[in-house]
Amino acid sequence: MKYLSEYRNAAEVQKHLEMLRKTVTRPWTIMETCGGQTHGLVKNGILEMLPEEITMVHGPGCPVCVTPLELIDKAVHLAQNKDVILCSFGDMLRVPGSKKSLLQAKAEGADVRILYSPLEALNIAKENPDKEVVFFAVGFETTAPANALSVYQAKKSGISNYSILVSHVLVPPAMEAILNDKDNRIQGFLAAGHVLTIMGFDEYYPIIEKYKVPVVVTGFEPLDLVQGILMVVRQLEKGEYKLENQYSRVVQESGNKQALEVIKQVFEVSNRAWRGIGEIPYSGYKLRDEYVDYDAEIKFSIDIDKVNENEICIAGDVLKGIKKPYQCPAFGKQCNPENPLGAPMVSSEGACAAYYHYTTF
Amino acid sequence: MSNLTNLQCPLPQLDFDVITLGHGGGGLLTNKLLDKAIFELFDNEKLKTRHDGAILSFGHKVAFSTDSFVISPVFFPGGNIGELAVNGTVNDVAMCGASPRYISLALIIEEGLPVTELWDILVHVKGAAEKAGVLIVTGDTKVVERGKGDKIFINTTGVGEMNPNAQIGTDYIKPGDKIIVSGNVATHGMAIMSVRKGLEFETSIESDTCNLNHTIGHLLNEFGSQIHLMRDPTRGGVASTLNEIARDTQLGIDIVQDDIPIDSRVDSACEMLGLDPLYVANEGVFISFVDASVADAYLKKLQSLEYGENAAIIGEVVADHHNKVVLTSKIGGKRVVNMQVGEQLPRIC
């Protein structure tokens, strides 16, 4: 696999680890913002290979983990409607709502379908004109273009039995929320390469200036991750703070113009609640007024009781990087992938699941 | 399977196009279906008696295994449920160290299945049984209402004679044993995933379903009790099978990611969907635990046998980290490979 195998080269990784050992002189705490990066660090055994001065903190970049409980309950509620076909990305299905997960609703007879793209949901809507098709539009900036495009195309081709349950969140406001937290100890960030592929660099410069933190746009393969960490540490050691691009084979400064246009056409920035963190101003997307007919929350009047998170679970602190998963009293005991108390134990990108799966020996 | 069997077995003249509830009713319609589609196709001395059961005799100890097949879609790249149902049970019997001889065939058909599709499946059953050298000696046919099945479910049960050289069991496994996988992993699961509704992607990946009994017979004849265990890592993949063995033996297992054979197309597809190939299902692959003293010779022999050309030593049994499977990643890091929880689901991004 071109552009993959080169970034899994053991000798290159070792060479960069050696450079890292030579560069680092004191303790640094760095956050990888994306769940895919957390997964890559843990799956490849990189955390154990890093110099002990470096502490990696796993950020909130796992869309499954930060989707509020209430929205999962809404998705379950919609799925249980006999006239609805509820479509979702695969890993949302196992996330526990307050009463059940979508997977349980499916087992009880709900028509829940796993898709890889919302455009496929649009096809299902065309094929089933007597049903309402709802796509659970979860994710960061990465899934926003395809979700926006599905709504744009539905409107353009007059498909009225399609809508999306929106739970879109944005990375930069979450980084700010973390940096503003009184317990914050993050000194540098690995930014998520695929998010910046869409969005470009613009919105990161003000954060870097305001909080004086280095940000390195980083990929997901072992060599990407070690290089990204090395670039952050070099800045920290020199007292610098700037944006650097480790993932230049993919990411361009201006982002993806077409993707940005379709997002802008369909979505507008809004306040969003984050599971475990709470509401963050201007931290997500909602559908613009012109597309309100495609908003599942408005199309179906969903009456859901407010529910509280499990009290033992420290998912919020884990997502903000204040605590490690194993510092949770329930970790590996009451809470495990078979019986998750909080979302980070569910998704394979969640910090708790990553620790549970890969580091328990 | 070759198209030859299809050509030799044209669809019989039947006065119905689809299966109806009546075909499972036990009366005239059932007999019409069985006469044309089962007895003539699978004709052999034991089936001819048309009794409810078959009478068998064996000189040796007998291995006995059953499996049900509910795969969706029924037709997939590289095969269909018919050959899968034969190969699956043939392989389970073979993993015991036995030579499979007879199998049963029980069909649960959903009302409305086109006869052409049923015929296609049955012809593949015949082809796979002939290839494996097993006779279909008893069976059953039921029809369920539309919506209560998924086209067709098949149960097969197989019996086979134990190879007198075989000493297979987790009790025989000891630290130092080498772990050998017979072929590329994750192929079957990704072939199925590529045609699953909503996840379709264009690929030339085909299922690896095949009968492993002849290959295993040759290995048992040559290496006998030096083979300590054989398992086919079907559902749950290589990771789940190795975890079961680590748990049952209370020993540790070390594997090396770089040594695990995988087709590059399958690797890319896993990458795209965010799946770990170690957890993806296999059909035409088996894992052997063999004495370290014969490991190289065993590997060489296996590579020369049918379906063994991609075989590789992927790891060994160790006395530390009891109950755990530990993988050395491509970059030299170590991590635990756990038992799979639930079904592997494609990731969002």
**CA of A94: how far to CAs of A103, A107, A167, A276, in Å?**
6, 12, 17, 18
B226 plus B329 within the same structural domain: yes
Q: Is B59 exposed, middle or buried (0-12, 13-18, 19+ CB in 10 A)?
A: exposed
Q: How far apart are CA B8 and CA B87, in angstroms?
A: 21
* Superfamily of segment(s) A65-170+255-299: HypD, alpha/beta domain 2 (3.40.50.11740)
B347 in a structural domain = no
Q: How far is B346 from chain A (nearest CA, A)?
A: 5
Query: Over A149-209, what HEC string results?
Result: HHHHHHHHCCCCCEEEEEEEECHHHHHHHHHHCCCCCCCEEEEEHHHHHHHCCHHHHHHHH
Measured from the Cβ of residue A243, the count of other Cβ atoms closer than 10 Å reads 18
In chain B, which residues have pLDDT < 70?
1-8, 345-349
Q: Give yes or no: residues B144 and B34 share one domain.
A: yes
Q: What is each CA distance from B187 to A112, B203, B257, B280, B313, in whole angstroms?
A: 26, 12, 17, 8, 18
CA–CA gap between residue B334 and residue A64 (Å, rounded)? 27
Residue type, A36: G
Q: What is the pLDDT of residue B12?
A: 82
Look at A222 and B330 and tell me if their CB atoms are within 8 Å. yes
| B239 interaction partners in chain A (CB closer than 8 Å) | none
Walk along chain A (361 residues) and give the pLDDT tens digit of each residue.
566 778 999 999 999 999 999 999 999 999 999 988 988 998 898 998 999 999 998 888 888 888 988 999 999 999 999 999 999 998 889 888 888 999 999 999 999 999 988 999 999 999 999 999 999 999 999 999 999 999 999 999 999 999 999 999 999 999 999 999 888 989 999 999 999 999 999 999 999 999 999 999 999 999 999 999 999 999 999 999 999 999 998 899 999 999 999 999 999 999 999 887 889 999 999 999 999 999 999 999 888 877 777 888 898 888 777 888 999 999 989 998 888 888 788 776 788 888 887 765 5
Could B331 and A222 be called an inter-chain contact, meaning their C-beta atoms sit closer than 8 Å? yes
Residue in A8, A64, A116 nearest the CB of B346: A116
Alpha helix locations (H) across chain A?
A: 10-23, 35-43, 63-66, 69-79, 102-107, 118-127, 144-156, 171-180, 193-199, 205-211, 222-238, 257-266, 296-299, 315-320, 351-358
Of B162, B193, B228, which one is at a domain's C-terminal end?
B162
**Are A49 and B342 an interchain contact pair (Cβ–Cβ within 8 Å)?**
no
- CB contact set of A238 (below 8 Å; sequence gap of 6+): none
Q: B140 with B201, same domain? A: no
Work out the angle at residue A216's Cα, subtended by the Cα atoms of residues A210 and A219, and round it to the nearest 5 degrees. Answer: 145
Beta carbons within 10 angstroms of residue A148's beta carbon: 27
**Are both B186 and B132 inside the same structural domain?**
no
β-pairing verdict for A278-287 and A162-169? antiparallel
Q: Do B198 and A114 touch (CB under 8 A)?
A: yes
Amino acid A142: pLDDT: 92
pLDDT at B251: 97
Amino acid at B188: H
Nearest to B336 among A92, A348, A360 (CB): A360
Cα separations (Å) of B69 from B135, B138, B308?
A: 19, 17, 25
Domain that residue B299 falls in: 170-337
Q: At what angle do helices A351-358 and A35-43 cross, to 10 degrees?
A: 10
B210 and B143 inside one domain: no
Residues B65 and B214 in one domain: no
| Cβ–Cβ below 8 Å for B348 and A14 | no
Residue B141 lies in a domain: yes
Residue A145 phi, psi (nearest 5)? -60, -45
Mean pLDDT, chain B, integer: 92
pTM: 0.84
Instruction: Say whether both B110 and B211 belong to one domain.
Output: no
Beta carbons of B313 and B180 less than 8 angstroms apart: yes
Supply φ then ψ for residue B204, to 5 degrees. Answer: -105, 15
Q: Is residue B342 included in any domain, yes or no?
A: no
Q: Copy the structure tokens of residue A202.
A: 């613009």
Q: A1 and B271 in contact by Cβ < 8 A? A: yes
Q: Contacts of residue A139 in chain B, CB cutoff 8 Å? A: 348-349
Quote the tokens at residue A244. 């650097």
Collect all residues from B whose CB is shorter than 8 A from any CB in A. 197-199, 201, 264, 267-268, 271, 273-274, 321, 324, 326, 328-336, 338, 341-342, 345-349
Distance from CA of B202 to the nearest CA of A (A): 13
Torsion-angle region of A337 (φ positive above 0: left; ψ -120 to 50: alpha; else: beta) = alpha
At residue B347, the pLDDT reads 63
Name the phi and psi angles at B209, rounded to 5: -55, 130
Give a yes or no: residue B297 inside a domain.
Answer: yes
The domain tally of chain B equals 2
Domain boundaries, chain A: 65-170+255-299
> What single-letter amino acid sits at B328?
T
Report if residue B203 sits inside a domain.
yes
Q: Is A241 helix (H, G, I), strand (E, B) or coil?
A: coil
Nearest-by-CA chain B residue for A48: B333
SS3 state at A87: strand
- Output the CA–CA distances (angstroms, integers) from residue B345 to B270, B274, B342, in the order listed: 11, 8, 9
Contacting residues for B251 by C-beta, under 8 A, at least 6 apart: B173, B174, B175, B317, B318, B319, B322, B323
Domain end (from B162, B180, B200): B162
Clarify whether residues B261 and B286 are in a common domain: yes
Q: B342 near A102, Cβ under 8 Å? A: no
Cβ contacts from A onto B, under 8 A: 109
CB contact under 8 A, B333 and A46: yes
Q: Nearest chain A Cα to B265, which residue?
A: A1
Residues of B with Cβ-Cβ distance to A124 under 8 angstroms: 198
CA distance B285 to B128: 16
Residue-level pLDDT at B3: 47
Are B331 and A87 within 8 A, CB to CB?
A: no
Scanning the structure block, which residue is given the tokens 């004679």? B161
Smallest Cβ distance to B324: which of A89, A194, A361?
A361
Within 10 angstroms of residue A307's Cβ, the number of other Cβ atoms is: 11
Q: Which CATH number goes with the domain that contains B262? A: 3.90.650.10
Instruction: With beta carbons less than 8 A apart as the criterion, state whether A289 and A266 touch.
Output: no
Structure tokens at A105: 């609703």
The domain that holds B58 is classified in CATH as 3.30.1330.10
CA nearest to A16, candidates A248, A191, A222: A222
CB A30 within 8 A of CB A215: no
- What does the angle CA A164 – CA A167 – CA A168 come to, to the nearest 5 degrees? 105
| Residues B297 and B261 grouped into a single domain | yes
Tell me whether residues B198 and A194 touch, CB distance under 8 A: no
Q: Among B185, B215, B177, which residue's Cα sits nearest to residue B301?
A: B215
Q: Do B267 and A142 touch (CB under 8 A)?
A: no
Among B162, B187, B207, identify where a domain stops. Answer: B162
| Structure-token pair, residue B154 | 């098949």
Domain presence at residue B348: no
Residue B228 CA to residue A76 CA, distance in Å, equals: 48
Cβ contacts of A90 on chain B, cutoff 8 Å: 345-348
